[in-house]
């Protein structure tokens, strides 16, 4: 027996150390929580299991050891033979790695990174497999989200109707979306890599913007890429309108926004430019601007645009020491066309006239429509240039040529007033007012003419303005009074009636004759209020007089043509009659031939209604107008008043005498009263008395002349007097009848 001993202390300790190491290593492996680490035998049975595996897969080592590892796979993978295939690969090439879905003990799935290594002994025999797996679900989800976000972003960029271009920090184009390609006409490949400003911007615009920006920021900004990104660079957003130049050189207005792109550290990694086409918006803006500045009918500039043009013309005139001429053009009697043929015909005429006026001026002059049938022309010229008058004459000539609308051939004439800057007004309002005064002068002097504004017109215009202001206060301030002028019967010498005449004593302007302020009241709307006051006062005062003297007195009240345009005129008169108790047959309304000539259906029906009411109608100032006899027979007229201008020249002037006789004969044969106005002398009275006797013996001989048939009114018998004086006059006549008879001798 041979015993050999060898000292194995060292080996033993090495073995112990190795075992200790092994134990520690196993401890480490077992306790690793992030990785699932486990061993399989060559057939795939789990033989060891660590903490990580337990955490990831949800099985405890007691549950899993001895089970086949294919339970970690999804049903499909298992049916597909995936577990066995993986082991085969690992045994053949020692290693298998993949990422894929695995199943936890609770059936839920997770995305795993799996590495399978073959484990062999020294001879190379397969001992089993070491499998390491990791749960990558979180990471995978994050990646998926990122991918989705990316594709979403790309599709947004692609589908976006906005032009989107990115550049690097220096402005080299990095990308552009399909909308950018469409808008610019360049493909991305043509532009990516080129420098931004030069690619599709207008260099002039860049310079302008650079200058603006420099001024805004108070420091020089170079006319280059910096212009676009300066604001974005300092954290702002740059928003501007630009014009892009397309590949085909056409231009397109865009609205653009530039922002800086920043990386994770916050430093600028590039710029993002977004722009969209604003052609349509510009077009709409342009349209709106046009509508706001032009007349819809004639497409001429309107008052607003005229104002702009005039302001600019004034500036130039001041600078160049030049002159600005303004014309106000008003069509004569244009209303008649509208009234008789309708507004559509009127509109067509206005369009034609607008073109004709335009054809008389230079392209640099402005023709504007001021509303209705009023036009204005503004012309710039050198001082002393009288071209404006030639133009005005030309306009008058061209406007008056016939206008054909449908089957109508119409003639329109124009009256023009001319004023000059700076002599006739320092601003648009004054200048137009001056031209207006001159235009009214042209109208009052016969129309179809032009007049230059003059100092005296300025004075008149100013007086008119002051007077109008005072007139507005007059009723409230109790400045009006009524005076009455007697009308005396030629046959009896009785006062058969009185004419009520308005008197205005203005504390500011003194006594103003009605000839001056009545036309002014007619121009403004004051005549209606004043007319009401006159009617009411006259009826009221005469009623008091009637009660005092015990018999009725006819009162004639003047009505202006304007009052006939009041729709409720008849109602107003009825109200006054009712309120004052005046008998309708004692009220006579004096109208002029003009009212009859206007001859609207409204006038006609108003006159008929008044007649039905029993109110009388007198034609004032008869003979000076152009009324034909037919008017007199057509309308329910009760009195003709021979105008003062005829009576004035009696008895000497043969023509006036003839007219007077004719009117008297006419009145007699139609059974209409005749009043001769403005009898100042005994000679005039004598003339009228003999003619009265002749007329009375004329066609209707034998018919006793009614006291009222012929009467006279004038200074010879007395001026218009207050109601108190008139009352005294009646009283005196009643007391002494000789006084009455004496009147006629
Ligand atoms: P009318 O209706 O023809 O009035 C007659 C005018 O002749 C009155 O002038 C009267 O004072 C004046 N007159 C009378 N007799 C003589 C005379 O012998 N010689 C001369 N030279 N003149 C004489 P008045 O009051 O200045 O009125 C002028 C015009 O003003 C009136 O002319 C009338 O058209 C208008 N008017 C006066 N009052 C009113 C009124 O209340 N309403 C309206 N709408 N118009 C009025
Ligand atoms: Mg009168
Ligand atoms: Mg008269």
Q: Report the distance separating Cα 408 and Cα 390, nearest Å.
A: 30
Ligand 1 site, residue 589, Cβ cutoff 6 A: no
Ligand 1 atom nearest to CA at 514: 30
Please tell me the distance between residue 557's alpha carbon and the centre of ligand 2 in angstroms: 7
Identify the bridge partners of residue 675 per DSSP, sorted by sequence position.
641, 711
Residue in 677, 683, 713 to alter for ligand 1 test, most ligand atoms within 8 A of Cβ: 677
Q: With 90 as the cut, is the pLDDT of residue 509 above it?
A: no
Residue 131 half-sphere exposure, CB side, CA atoms within 13 Å? Answer: 29
The helix, strand and coil proportions of the chain, stated in percent and rounded to the nearest 5, come to 50, 25, 25
Question: What's the Rg (C-alpha) of the chain?
Answer: 54
Nearest CA to ligand 1 atom 27: 514
In the reported structure, the alpha carbon of residue 737 is separated from the centroid of ligand 1 by a whole-number distance in angstroms of 29
User: How far, in Å, is the centroid of ligand 1 from the Cα of 404?
Assistant: 44
422: preceding bond cis by omega (within 30 degrees): yes
Q: Is the CB of 485 inside a 6 Å radius of any atom of ligand 1?
A: yes
pLDDT tens sequence across 283-338: 888 888 888 888 889 999 999 899 999 999 999 999 988 889 999 999 988 887 88
CATH numbers and ranges of domains, the chain: 26-136 (3.30.450.20), 160-282 (3.30.450.20), 296-453 (3.30.70.270), 474-744 (3.20.20.450)
Residue range 510-556, pLDDT digits in tens: 899 999 899 889 887 889 999 999 999 999 999 999 999 989 999 99
State in Å: Cα 620 to ligand 1 middle. Answer: 10
Residue 416 has pLDDT above 50, yes or no: yes
* Contact 528 CB / ligand 1 (< 6 Å): no
Q: What is the pLDDT of residue 741?
A: 61
594 lines ligand 1 (CB under 6 A): no
513 lines ligand 1 (CB under 6 A): yes
3 state SS of 575: helix
Angle in degrees, CA 115, 120, 123, rounded to 5: 155
Nearest CA owner, ligand 1 atom 20: 678
Query: For the whole prediction, is pTM greater than 0.85?
Result: no
Q: What is the mean pLDDT of residues 462-469?
A: 85
Cα–Cα distance list, 115 to 46, 70, 112, 512 (Å): 15, 15, 10, 120
Question: Ligand 2 centre and the CA of 133: distance in Å?
Answer: 122
Query: What's the gap in Å between 292 CA and the centre of ligand 3?
Result: 49
The pick from 481, 488, 501 for probing ligand 1's pocket by mutation, whose C-beta has the most ligand atoms within 8 angstroms, reads: 501
- Is residue 150 very low, low, confident or very high in pLDDT (cuts 50, 70, 90)? confident
Name the closest-CA residue to atom 32, ligand 1.
Answer: 515
- pLDDT greater at residue 631 or residue 15: 15
């Amino acid at each position: 027996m041979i015993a050999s001993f060898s000292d194995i202390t060292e080996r033993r300790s090495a073995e112990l150390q190795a075992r200790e190491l092994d134990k520690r290593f196993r401890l480490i492996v077992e306790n690793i929580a992030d990785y699932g680490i486990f061993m399989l035998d060559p057939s795939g049975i789990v033989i060891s299991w660590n903490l990580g595996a337990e955490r990831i897969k949800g099985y405890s080592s007691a549950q899993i050891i001895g089970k086949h590892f294919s339970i970690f796979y999804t049903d499909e993978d298992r049916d597909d033979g995936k577990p066995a295939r993986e082991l085969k690969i690992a045994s053949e090439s020692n290693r298998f790695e993949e990422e894929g879905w695995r199943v936890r003990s609770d059936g839920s799935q997770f995305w795993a990174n799996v590495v399978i290594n073959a484990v062999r002994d020294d001879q190379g025999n397969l001992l089993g497999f070491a499998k390491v797996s990791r749960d990558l679900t979180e990471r995978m989800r994050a990646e998926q989200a990122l991918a989705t976000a990316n594709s979403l972003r790309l599709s947004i960029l692609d589908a976006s109707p906005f032009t989107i271009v990115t550049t690097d920090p220096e402005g080299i184009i990095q990308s552009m979306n399909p909308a950018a390609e469409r808008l610019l006409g360049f493909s991305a490949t043509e532009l990516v890599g080129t420098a931004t400003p030069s690619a599709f911007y207008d260099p002039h615009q860049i310079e302008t913007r650079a200058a603006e920006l420099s001024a805004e920021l108070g420091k020089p900004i170079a006319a280059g890429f910096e212009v676009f990104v300066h604001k974005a660079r300092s954290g702002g957003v740059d928003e501007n309108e630009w014009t892009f130049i397309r590949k085909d050189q056409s231009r397109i207005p865009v609205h653009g926004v530039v922002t800086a792109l920043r990386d994770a550290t916050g430093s600028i990694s590039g710029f993002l430019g977004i722009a969209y086409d604003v052609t349509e918006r510009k077009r709409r803006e342009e349209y709106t601007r046009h509508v706001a500045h032009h007349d819809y009918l004639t497409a001429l500039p309107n008052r607003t645009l005229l104002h702009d043009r005039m302001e600019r013309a004034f500036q130039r005139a001041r600078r160049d020491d030049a002159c600005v001429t303004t014309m106000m053009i008003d069509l004569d009697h244009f209303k008649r066309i509208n009234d008789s043929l309708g507004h559509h015909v009127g509109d067509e005429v206005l369009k034609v006239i607008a073109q004709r006026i335009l054809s008389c001026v230079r392209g640099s002059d402005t023709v504007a429509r001021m509303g209705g049938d009023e036009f204005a022309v503004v012309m710039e010229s050198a001082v002393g240039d009288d071209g404006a008058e030639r133009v005005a004459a030309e306009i008058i000539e061209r406007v008056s040529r016939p206008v054909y609308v449908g089957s109508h051939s119409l003639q329109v004439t124009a009256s023009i007033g001319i004023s000059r800057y700076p002599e006739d007004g320092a601003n648009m309002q004054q200048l137009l007012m001056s031209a207006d005064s001159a235009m009214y002068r042209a109208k009052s002097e016969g129309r179809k003419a032009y007049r230059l504004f003059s100092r005296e017109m300025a004075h008149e215009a100013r007086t008119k303005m002051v007077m109008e202001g005072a007139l507005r206060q007059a009723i409230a301030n109790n400045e009006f009074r009524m005076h009455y002028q007697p009308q005396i019967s030629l046959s009896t010498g009785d006062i058969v009636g009185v004419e009520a005449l308005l008197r205005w004593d203005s504390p500011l302007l003194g006594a103003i004759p009605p000839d001056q302020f009545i036309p002014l009241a007619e121009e403004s709307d004051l005549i209606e209020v004043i007319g009401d006051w006159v009617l009411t006062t006259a009826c009221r005062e005469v009623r008091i007089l009637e009660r005092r003297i015990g018999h009725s007195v006819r009162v004639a009240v003047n009505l202006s043509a304007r009052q006939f345009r009041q729709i409720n005129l008849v109602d107003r008169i009825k109200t006054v009659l009712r309120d004052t108790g005046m008998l309708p047959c004692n009220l006579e309304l004096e109208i002029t031939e003009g009212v009859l000539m206007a001859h609207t259906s409204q006038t006609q029906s108003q006159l008929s209604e008044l007649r039905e009411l029993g109110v009388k109608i007198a034609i004032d100032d008869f003979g000076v107008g152009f009324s034909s006899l037919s008017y007199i027979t057509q309308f329910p007229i009760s009195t003709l008043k021979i105008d003062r201008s005829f009576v004035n020249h009696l008895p000497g002037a043969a023509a006036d005498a003839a007219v007077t006789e004719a009117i008297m004969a006419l009145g007699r044969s139609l059974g209409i009263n005749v009043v001769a106005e403005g009898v100042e002398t005994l000679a005039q009275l004598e003339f009228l008395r003999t003619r009265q006797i002749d007329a009375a013996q004329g066609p209707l001989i034998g018919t006793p002349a009614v006291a009222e048939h012929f009467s006279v009114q004038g200074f010879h018998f007395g001026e218009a007097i207050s109601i108190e004086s008139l009352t005294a006059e009646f009283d005196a006549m009643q007391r002494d009848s000789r006084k009455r008879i004496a009147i006629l001798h």
